[in-house]
């Protein structure tokens, strides 16, 4: 007797299993909670097993059988996605799922507009987006959780390909009343006695500190934060200077105070680009997204940045 279930029901089940609640899963897959509840009940009835323990105050917990079922359901959905890739390549149509990671330091500036324009051009692509630090993005690439990542060329491994999009020189962020704020550029020696607000993220912090390390200097780290928006506001409020590569679209901190941006000499520019697992073949959808990124970054006046030489 053939089994009667759908991939959509499995998708809802996996979403609940990973989120731990029907409400959170409903937000992720953009359907109503009753629809998800009905799908799970149908799966349990079809297979004759209990997938979840329902606890009113703590959401849902997978049963032992449910955990095994979740692993196999996720594998089946992955295989189904692979069929979409094959069909897209055969038909030369850009379609199917695409999981995109983006470095959280510039996701707010780049990702929404980039994604919106891509989906307008390719409406048959279903995008999921994730914003994390560099280390987490690399982990997700290696584990197959995302198809590609918009990030910097920091600590790239041999099994990751990198398609550069923009060269981003380092700059120093300062309060507008700082004595160095009117300069066109500064060197690390001029900053070493000043308090620093360090953007404390994996790989990024080592890159910023290398401006001092390579000259045998030790900066005065007064504050640390993993949020670049918090760093901008702390700088604007006089806690110290900051170093970054992606310029915001205006000269105001998130709390509305003005900032100055001065070029930092002696630190190599970073390339922002697309990182993806090394493979002999790329799907039509991945190829189309990379080409879309190349067009996107050449739009006049975007970020005030420079396209790298080929």
Sign of the Cα torsion 143, 149, 155, 158 reads positive
Evaluate whether 168 touches 110 at the Cβ level (below 8 Å).
no
Lowest mean pLDDT among 24-33, 253-262, 263-272: 24-33
- Domains of the chain, earliest start first: 7-86 (1.10.10.10), 92-167+270-297 (3.40.190.10), 170-264 (3.40.190.10)
Residue-wise pLDDT tens digits, 141-194: 988 889 999 999 998 888 899 999 999 999 999 999 999 999 999 999 999 999
> Could you tell me the CA-to-CA distances from 99 to 147, 188, 200, 248 in Å, in that order?
5, 39, 26, 25
Q: How high is the pLDDT of residue 82?
A: 73
Residue-wise pLDDT tens digits, 138-148: 999 988 889 99
Q: How high is the pLDDT of residue 91?
A: 52
pLDDT over 50 (residue 309): no
> Could you tell me the CA-to-CA distances from 230 to 1, 130, 151 in Å, in that order?
59, 20, 20
Could you give the percent of the chain with pLDDT greater than 70?
Answer: 91
- Tokens 């069909």 identify what position? 87
Mean pLDDT over 30-39 rounds to 87
Average pLDDT, the chain: 88
pLDDT over 50 (residue 310): no
Q: How high is the pLDDT of residue 147?
A: 93
């Amino acid at each position: 007797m053939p089994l009667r279930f759908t991939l959509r029901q499995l998708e809802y089940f996996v979403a609940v299993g990973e989120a731990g609640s029907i409400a959170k899963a409903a937000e992720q897959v953009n359907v109503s909670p009753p629809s998800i509840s009905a799908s799970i009940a149908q799966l349990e009835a079809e297979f004759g097993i209990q997938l979840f323990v329902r606890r009113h105050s703590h959401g849902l917990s997978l049963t032992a059988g449910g955990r095994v079922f979740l692993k196999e359901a996720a594998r089946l959905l992955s295989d189904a996605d692979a069929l979409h890739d094959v069909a897209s390549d055969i038909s030369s149509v850009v379609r199917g799922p695409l999981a995109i990671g983006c470095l959280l330091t510039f996701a707010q500036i780049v990702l929404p507009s980039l994604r919106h324009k891509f989906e307008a051009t390719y409406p048959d692509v279903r995008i999921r987006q994730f914003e994390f630090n560099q280390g987490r993005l690399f982990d997700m690439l290696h584990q197959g959780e995302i198809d590609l990542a918009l990030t910097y060329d920091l600590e790239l491994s041999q099994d990751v390909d990198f398609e550069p999009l923009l060269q981003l020189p380092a700059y120093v962020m300062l309060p507008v009343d700082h004595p160095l704020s009117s300069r066109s550029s500064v060197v690390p020696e001029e900053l070493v006695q000043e308090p620093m607000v360090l953007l404390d993220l994996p790989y990024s912090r080592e890159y910023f500190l290398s401006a001092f390390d390579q000259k045998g200097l030790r900066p005065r780290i007064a504050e640390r934060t993993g949020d670049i928006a918090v760093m901008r506001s702390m700088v604007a409020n006089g806690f110290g200077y900051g170093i970054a590569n992606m310029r915001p679209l205006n000269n105001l901190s998130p709390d509305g105070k003005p900032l100055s941006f001065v070029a930092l000499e002696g630190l190599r520019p970073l390339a922002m680009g697309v990182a993806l697992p090394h493979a002999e073949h790329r799907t039509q959808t991945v190829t189309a997204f990379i080409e879309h990124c190349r067009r996107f970054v050449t739009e006049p006046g975007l970020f005030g940045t420079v396209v790298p030489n080929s």
